[in-house]
C-alpha cells in the first residue's frame, strides 16, 4: 500500500475512532454524495481491506470511546461494511481487542439478514445506523437501485425482535418521492423502535441534473415544517444540518429508554449549568454530561401552560454512559480555546476568521462570546489601559457586508459604543468573519469540509481588506495540508501574502 494512504488510514483510526474496512457499496443511490462531483477530487477508493491490515489498524484505536464503522471523516470513500466478505472476522477482531468497546455500524441494511443480526446481538454493545431513506421495496429500487429491496424491511423486524439498538436516517427527497413517502418512512422507523430519526437535506452540486436540484432555503423550510408534525412521536425526529445561530445548550431531543428519558427534562430544555458550571456550547454541555457520574443539571424549559420554569436535577447515569440527550453539534470547547488563544496572541494584527455558509451563525455567536468575555475579563470598567480586538463580520463581498458592531470596549480610550465600518477599517487589531461560498462544488453545498483553496482565494479577493493572519477550519485540509482538489493551503500564503493558521 502507498505509504501516504496508509498514513491517512492510521490517522483516521487514531484521531477519529473510525475503522475503514471497505469502499465497496452495493447501491447506486440517486442522492449519493460521490455522484456528480467535480472531476479530479483527491479522494481514495480502497476496495475491501484485508484482515492483516485491519488488525494493524486496531492497534491505533483509542481505548476510550466507540469504534465507528461505515462512516467517513477523511478522504477515504466508505462503502457498506456488511458488504465486506470477512465482516464476521472483522467484528471478532474488534471484540478480541476491545471486549467492552461500543461498536457503531452504519449500513444500508441490504445485507442485514438473520445470521448477521444474531451475530451482532451476541457481540454487544453494538449500535446500528440504518440508512432507510424510503418506505417500501419498490421505492428502494427506484431511489437506491437496491437489488435486495425487501431485506432492510425484514431487518427492521429482526432488530426489534433481538432488541438491538438502532437509529434511522432518511435523505429527504420529496421532490422525487413525494411527502407521503417521507411521512411513511418516519412512521416505519418509529414503529420498529428506532432511537432517533435523522432527516438529511440532500446535497447537489453544479454538476447535478436539473431533476436533482431544488430551491434550497424553500425546501429546508418545508421539511422543517413537515417534521414538526411528528414531534409527538416517541422517537425524536431531527433535521440535518441544523440551523444554529447561538451556542446555547438546547436539548434537540431525548432518546427513549435513556437516563434523560427517565428525568423531568423535555425537548427544548436549555441546560444552563452542569455540576455548577455554565457550558460554553452544546458540545461542551454534552461532553461534561457524558464524563460525569450523576451530573447535577440546572435547566430552563416550558412548563404547564407554556410558562418558563427553572429547575435542577441529578441525572442518574454512570460516568461515560450516554445520557440520551440529543444536542446539535456546534463548537468544541477545544476549538474555542484555540481561537481565543490566536486572537489574544495577535491583538495588534488584522485577523480574518474564515467560515462556511453553514457555520456562519455558530462562528458569529462565538465572536459575540469572545467580545463579551474580553470585556468582562480585561475591561469591566472600560479602563484605558487594555488593548483588545474589534470584531467585524463580512458576508460575501464588500458591497454586501452585514451591518456589524465594532466594539470600542478593550480598545485604548474606548467608550463601549459601536463604530462605523469605515472608522474601524483604518485601525489595527480587528477580526473579520469572512463567509466563503462553496463555488468549487456549487449547488446546495455549504459545508466547511467541502471548501477549497479556490473558494478561499475568491473570498479574499472580494474583501476590501488585507490581513496579517488568516484562520481556516482544519476540516478543509487533510493531514498534509491539501484540500479536496489537491491544492495546499500554503498557496494561499504565497498568493495573498498572509500567514495562515489551521484551526
CB within 8 A of 21, min separation 6: which ones? 48, 49, 54, 69, 81, 84, 87, 90
pLDDT of residue 114: 97
- Answer whether residue 327 shows pLDDT above 90: yes
User: Across the strands, what pairs with 431?
Assistant: 351, 391
pLDDT of residue 399: 35
pLDDT of residue 260: 97
The vertex-90 CA angle with 43 and 321, nearest 5°, equals: 90
pLDDT of residue 457: 98
- Answer whether residue 404 shows pLDDT above 70: no
pLDDT of residue 390: 65
pLDDT of residue 36: 86
Please report how the helices 151-162 and 114-121 are oriented relative to each other, as an axis angle in degrees rounded to 10: 30
User: Across the strands, what pairs with 18?
Assistant: 68
Average per-residue pLDDT for the chain = 89
pLDDT of residue 400: 32
pLDDT in tens, 213-259: 999 999 999 999 999 999 899 899 999 999 999 999 999 999 999 99
Nearest alpha-carbon partner for 97 in 55, 52, 128, 53:
55
pLDDT of residue 385: 35
Tell me how long the chain is.
503
pLDDT in tens, 52-93: 999 999 999 999 999 999 998 778 999 999 999 999 999 999
- The yes/no answer on whether domain 253-326 falls in CATH 2.30.42 is yes
pLDDT in tens, 434-455: 999 999 999 999 999 999 999 9
pLDDT of residue 373: 85
- Of 317-326, 359-368, 408-417, the one with minimum mean pLDDT is 408-417
For 354-366, what is the mean pLDDT? 97
Residue 379 — very low, low, confident or very high, per pLDDT cuts 50/70/90?
low
Residue 186 — very low, low, confident or very high, per pLDDT cuts 50/70/90?
very high
Residue 431 — very low, low, confident or very high, per pLDDT cuts 50/70/90?
very high
Name the percent of the chain lying above pLDDT 70: 89
Please report how the helices 51-58 and 3-16 are oriented relative to each other, as an axis angle in degrees rounded to 10: 50
- Answer whether residue 458 shows pLDDT above 80: yes
For 135-147, what is the mean pLDDT? 97
- Residue 438's region, left for phi above 0, alpha for psi from -120 to 50, else beta, is beta
Q: What gap in Å lies between CA 335 and CA 434, rounded to an integer? A: 18
Class of domain 3-240: alpha beta
User: For the CA atoms of the chain, what is the radius of gyration?
Assistant: 24
The DSSP element (H or E) to which 271 belongs, if any, is: strand 270-274
Q: What gap in Å lies between CA 174 and CA 186, rounded to an integer? A: 13
For 371-400, what is the mean pLDDT? 55
In the chain, what is the straight-line distance between the N-terminal and C-terminal CA atoms, in Å?
Answer: 30
pLDDT of residue 377: 63
pLDDT of residue 245: 95
pLDDT of residue 175: 94
pLDDT of residue 425: 36
Name the percent of the chain lying above pLDDT 90: 81
CB within 8 A of 16, min separation 6: which ones? 68, 73, 74
Amino acid at each position: 500500500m502507498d505509504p501516504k494512504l496508509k498514513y491517512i488510514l492510521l490517522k483516521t483510526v487514531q484521531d477519529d475512532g473510525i475503522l475503514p474496512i471497505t469502499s465497496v457499496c452495493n447501491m447506486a443511490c440517486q442522492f449519493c454524495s460521490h455522484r456528480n462531483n467535480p472531476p479530479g477530487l483527491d479522494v481514495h477508493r480502497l476496495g475491501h481491506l484485508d484482515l492483516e491490515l485491519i488488525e494493524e489498524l486496531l492497534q491505533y484505536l483509542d481505548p476510550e470511546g466507540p469504534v465507528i464503522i461505515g462512516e467517513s471523516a477523511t478522504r477515504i470513500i466508505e462503502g457498506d461494511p456488511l458488504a465486506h466478505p470477512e465482516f464476521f472476522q472483522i467484528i471478532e477482531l474488534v471484540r478480541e481487542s476491545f471486549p467492552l468497546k461500543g461498536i457503531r455500524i452504519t449500513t444500508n441494511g441490504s445485507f442485514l439478514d438473520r445470521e448477521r443480526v444474531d451475530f451482532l446481538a451476541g457481540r454487544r454493545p453494538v449500535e446500528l445506523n440504518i440508512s432507510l431513506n424510503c418506505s417500501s421495496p419498490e421505492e428502494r429500487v427506484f431511489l437506491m437501485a437496491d437489488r435486495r429491496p425487501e431485506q432492510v424491511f425484514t431487518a427492521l423486524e429482526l432488530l426489534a425482535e433481538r432488541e438491538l439498538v438502532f437509529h434511522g436516517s432518511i435523505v429527504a427527497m420529496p421532490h422525487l418521492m413525494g411527502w407521503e413517502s417521507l411521512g411513511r418512512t418516519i412512521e416505519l422507523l418509529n414503529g420498529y423502535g428506532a432511537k432517533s430519526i435523522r432527516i438529511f437535506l440532500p446535497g447537489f452540486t453544479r454538476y447535478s441534473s436539473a431533476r436533482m436540484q431544488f430551491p434550497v432555503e424553500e425546501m429546508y423550510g418545508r421539511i422543517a415544517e413537515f417534521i414538526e408534525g411528528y414531534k409527538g412521536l416517541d422517537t425524536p425526529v431531527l433535521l440535518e444540518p441544523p440551523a444554529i445561530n447561538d451556542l446555547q445548550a438546547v436539548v434537540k431531543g431525548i432518546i427513549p429508554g435513556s437516563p434523560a428519558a427517565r428525568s423531568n427534562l423535555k425537548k427544548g430544555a436549555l441546560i444552563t449549568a452542569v455540576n455548577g458550571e455554565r457550558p460554553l456550547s452544546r458540545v461542551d454541555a454534552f461532553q461534561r454530561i457524558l464524563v460525569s457520574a450523576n451530573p447535577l443539571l440546572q435547566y430552563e424549559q416550558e412548563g404547564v401552560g407554556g410558562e418558563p420554569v427553572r429547575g435542577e436535577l441529578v441525572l442518574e447515569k454512570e460516568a461515560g454512559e450516554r445520557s440520551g440527550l440529543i444536542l446539535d453539534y456546534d463548537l468544541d470547547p477545544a476549538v474555542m480555546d484555540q481561537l481565543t488563544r490566536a486572537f489574544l496572541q495577535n491583538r495588534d494584527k488584522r485577523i480574518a476568521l474564515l467560515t462556511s455558509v453553514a457555520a456562519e451563525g455558530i462562528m458569529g455567536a462565538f465572536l459575540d462570546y469572545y467580545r463579551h468575555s474580553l470585556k468582562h475579563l480585561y475591561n469591566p470598567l472600560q479602563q484605558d489601559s487594555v488593548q483588545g480586538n474589534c470584531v467585524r463580520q463580512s458576508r460575501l463581498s464588500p458591497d454586501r457586508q452585514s451591518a456589524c458592531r465594532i466594539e470600542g470596549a478593550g480598545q485604548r480610550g474606548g467608550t463601549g459604543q459601536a463604530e462605523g465600518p469605515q472608522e474601524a477599517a483604518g485601525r489595527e487589531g480587528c477580526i473579520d468573519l469572512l463567509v466563503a461560498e462553496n463555488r468549487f462544488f456549487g449547488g446546495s453545498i455549504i459545508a466547511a469540509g467541502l471548501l477549497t483553496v479556490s473558494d478561499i482565494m475568491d473570498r479574499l479577493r472580494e474583501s476590501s481588506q488585507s490581513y496579517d493572519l488568516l484562520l481556516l477550519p482544519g476540516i478543509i485540509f487533510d493531514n498534509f495540508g491539501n484540500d479536496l482538489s489537491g491544492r495546499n493551503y500554503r498557496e494561499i500564503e504565497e498568493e495573498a501574502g498572509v500567514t495562515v493558521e489551521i484551526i
